Amino acid sequence: MPPVIVAIDGPSGSGKSSVSKGVATRLGFEYLDTGAMYRAVTWWALDNRVSTEEIAGRLGECAIISGTDPEAPFVTVNAVDVSEAIRSPEVTAAVSRYSAIPEVRTMLVEMQREAAGNAGTGLVAEGRDLGTVVFPNANLKVYLTADVQARAQRRAAENAERGHDADVADAHESLSARDAADSGRAVSPLQIAPDAVEVDATFMTLPEVIDHVTKLALEHS
């Protein structure tokens, strides 16, 4: 039996990571945070002063490994664990520019499909283009959203936990800018797959969303 694929897409701060990890844990599936992969490439580019013009020719220098255990996710670049470093404001500000480069996407999409091929019973993968581009035949596609104010509040609370800027207005501004960049780019923009189930989490608690998506995944497996 090929692994069951659950593709969860949606804008920044919609709760994709917590929901995806929770669903993967409940189902005993592996988990893939594709945003972390785009962040890892961006971290490497900033650390090595590789511009968006140069990066296509230098991707061979950037070896990324993503852990797929939903209870202990990690990402390494050239064997350095960058799981925390990729959440810095500098990476967050630059990631939309680097993730818009076609060669970056081609490399990471290939790795994402490879991870799916190696997943045992199933994989919950989260990102922006999983239902539309990476896994067009996913068993279940979810488009998870929440209104921008709810997402900004959540992101500011996460930032506070990490010791970064916890201002809700700043989070609102940065999320709106990233929404526009991620939705407006030419290659693989954030879009709702026609066969995706839309879940609006604005007025739902995290356990409610996990429950709902787990039930959908069981129905679609």
Q: Residue numbers of the site for ligand DC (CB under 6 A)?
A: 12, 34-35, 38-39, 95-96, 99, 127-130, 178, 182
How many Å apart are CA 106 and CA 69, to the nearest integer? 24
Q: 9 to each of 44, 59, 132, 141, how far by Cα in Å?
A: 24, 25, 9, 8
Shortest spacing between CB 6 and ligand DC, in angstroms = 14
CB of 1 to ligand DC, least distance (A): 25
The smaller minimum CB distance to ligand DC, of residues 16 and 29, is found at: 16
DSSP string, 58-119: HGGG--EEE---TTS--EEETTEE-TTGGGSHHHHHHHHHHHT-HHHHHHHHHHHHHHHHH-
SS3 126: strand
Q: Looking at beta carbons only, is 122 or 127 nearer to ligand DC?
A: 127
Report, in Å, the least distance between residue 74 CB and ligand DC. 14
Min dist CB 56 to ligand DC, Å, is 16
Q: How far is the CB of 195 from ligand DC (least distance, A)?
A: 18
Nearest approach, Cβ of 15 to ligand DC (angstroms)? 11
Radius of gyration for the alpha carbons in the chain, expressed in angstroms and rounded: 16
CA 206 – CA 195 distance, rounded (Å) = 23
Residue 34 or residue 66: which is nearer to ligand DC going by CB? 34
- Would you say 39 or 172 has its CB closer to ligand DC? 39
Given the complex with ligand DC, which of 12 and 66 has the nearer CB atom?
A: 12
Which residue number, 73 or 127, has a Cβ lying nearer to ligand DC? 127
Sign of CA dihedral 203, 204, 209, 211: negative
CB atoms closer than 10 angstroms to residue 68: 22
Closest CA to 103 of 17, 196, 188: 188
